[in-house]
Amino acid sequence: MELYELLDSEEASGIKVVNERADLSVEVSTIGMMEAPDISDFLVDGQLLVTTGYHFQNDVPALLALLEMMKKRGCAAIGIKEQRYFDEIPPEVVMLANELRFPVLLLPKTIGLSVIVRNLLHRLLKSQSDLLRRIIEYNNELSHLILQEERTNLFLEKIASIIGKDVFLINSHYQITHSNQNIYYQHQEIGEQLKLNIAEELLEVSEIVITHFKNQSVVLHPIQANFKSNVLFLGIINFDQNNPFITLLIQQIINLLSFATLRTSMNQETKRQIKNEFFASILVESPDHKALEEQLKLQGINSREPQKCAIIKLRKHNLGSLINHRVVRLAYDYLEWFIEEKKLNAQIFIYRDDIIFFAPDFFINRSELLKLQEYLYQHFSANFYFDIGYAHSSLALTELPVLFQEAKQALTLGSEDKVSTLNEYRPKAITELLHLIPNDEVESYIDNHLFELINLPQQIESDELLETLYQYLLNGCSISKVATIQYIHRNTVIYRLKKIQQYLSVNLEDSEVRMQLMIALLLLRKDKER
């Protein structure tokens, strides 16, 4: 309790303040009695020291030295028994006390020193007991609020009303997620000012940070969490760190928020693991496009938006050293932070200790991925390389296995050198090059060269002629080979080829025509696979 509160109590009746400029707002945490001249070794913060003055009756300089030492140690005040060994407090003592703003008290001569100590301790302990009771009551009330889902704003509103200060929750990206109503419309302004003050891209600290906003102090208390990507801070504007009630209450609030954050983090971690397993099953099983589209839809993922794939592999400087999952998980957190900063719609998951992510092609390119590598270097351990392989194709997520294989093969292009590598997939076969043609152009090309065959009245005839034409072009225009492969007579092959030329109005002896038709057939087969 503060000294003025103690002096106003019944237990302190008769105690007078000697010096006019005494600071009576100091906190009193304990009462001590001086029994020996070497008391300076036993002074503690917040102590009110009482004495008869016996040791100073003939040594005023020693009393002056004691006052300075008590001020330095953070003591609350000194009380001297009235008219016991001093008829009056020496003027030089009063002068120094005023200079230090250190309270000097005159204790009533009619009450024994031990009784004064007992009475003051009784009042002090009662005050501390009342303080703890209030904190327990508030803690119970706040615990009830924090256990209710989606009541964080109400929780902070209650805190603000208790401590009389504006409060908010802010994440590592300087984004205020919740606050009391009074500063609700200042979220962005506060976040931008704090980022400017702290001058760090990410707010990653484990200790209390003191900064400012509009000439007001702001104290940020880190909230403990098991997962780095969920770091939060409780911000308090104009927080009085010298108020023990508020300080103790805030510590209880931090504990409650840590519990709530841990609960949220565990839920999010469970969702991440489910997501990892979901994408891993796709890469292993390679389901057909329709089934994959349905699965992605159930996950709330737009499967038709064109995406690229990139894979990040961590490699230790010491070749042969194993990478544990915890390190990979930490790199995942930093990638997630980086993507959040870019406000990208991306899918991230871990597969066999590699980090895989799918994002729009404007992000997965050499320029942006070099920035990502630099970002990882800045925020991660210097003992690792970050090799990245990325797909050349930009396809719908229904082609997820294809995109993954491209990124995987690009990753193998990197050499095991003492640098991080960044490689794009290089197509090696004509079928892979055909994957790079946009869908609308594929459909247009197929229609321009095969429309009449595809749209024959009889589907059976259409399929037979398309297959015969494909085998004819694939096998060097050998009628005998086509007959053998299709188990038909060579005259049937000749008959079909004549019909194909009639329907398409082309001459199959023209090499340019044959090349165009072969490309159209390959595109058609690829389109059907999709």
pLDDT tier, 182 (very low <50, low <70, confident <90, very high otherwise): very high
Q: What is the pLDDT, as a whole number, of residue 216?
A: 92
Residue 489 pLDDT > 90: yes
pLDDT tier, 530 (very low <50, low <70, confident <90, very high otherwise): low
Q: What is the pLDDT, as a whole number, of residue 41?
A: 80
Q: What is the pLDDT, as a whole number, of residue 318?
A: 73
Residue 480 pLDDT > 60: yes
How far is 75 from 28, CA to CA, in rounded Å? 8
Phi, psi angle pair for 364, to nearest 5°: -85, 85
Q: Write down the mean pLDDT value for the chain.
A: 85
Q: Which of 142, 138, 116 is nearest to 9 (CA)?
A: 116
Q: What is the pLDDT, as a whole number, of residue 320?
A: 61
Higher-confidence residue of 199 and 29: namely 29
Phi, psi angle pair for 209, to nearest 5°: -115, 130
pLDDT digits (tens, 9 = 90+) for 25-35: 898 989 988 87
CA–chain centroid gap for 284, Å, is 30
SS3 410: helix
Higher-confidence residue of 131 and 512: namely 512
Q: What percent of the chain has pLDDT over 90?
A: 31
- The secondary element (H helix, E strand) that includes residue 234 is strand 232-237
Q: What is the pLDDT, as a whole number, of residue 66?
A: 92
The region of weakest confidence among 124-138, 215-229, 337-351 is 215-229
Contact 254, 221 (CB under 8 A): yes
The region of weakest confidence among 111-115, 122-126, 375-379 is 375-379
Residue 73 pLDDT > 70: yes
The residues that bridge with 347 in the sheet, in sequence order, are 358
Phi, psi angle pair for 215, to nearest 5°: 65, 15
SS3 140: helix
Residue 440 pLDDT > 80: no
- pTM here is 0.52
How far is 520 from 514, CA to CA, in rounded Å? 10
Residue 436 pLDDT > 70: no
Secondary structure of 274-326 in the HEC alphabet? HHHHHHHHHHHHCCCHHHHHHHHHHCCCCCCCCEEEEEEEEEECCCCCCCCHH
Q: What is the residue type of 291?
A: A
Pairing of strands 77-81, 232-237: unpaired
Q: Is the CA virtual torsion 53, 91, 22, 69 positive or negative?
A: negative
How far is 386 from 377, CA to CA, in rounded Å? 8
Contact 410, 423 (CB under 8 A): yes
Q: Is the CA virtual torsion 83, 87, 90, 95 positive or negative?
A: positive
Q: What is the pLDDT, as a whole number, of residue 15?
A: 92
CB crowding 412-424: b at 16 or more within 10 Å, else e: eebeeeeebbbbb
Residue 9 pLDDT > 80: yes
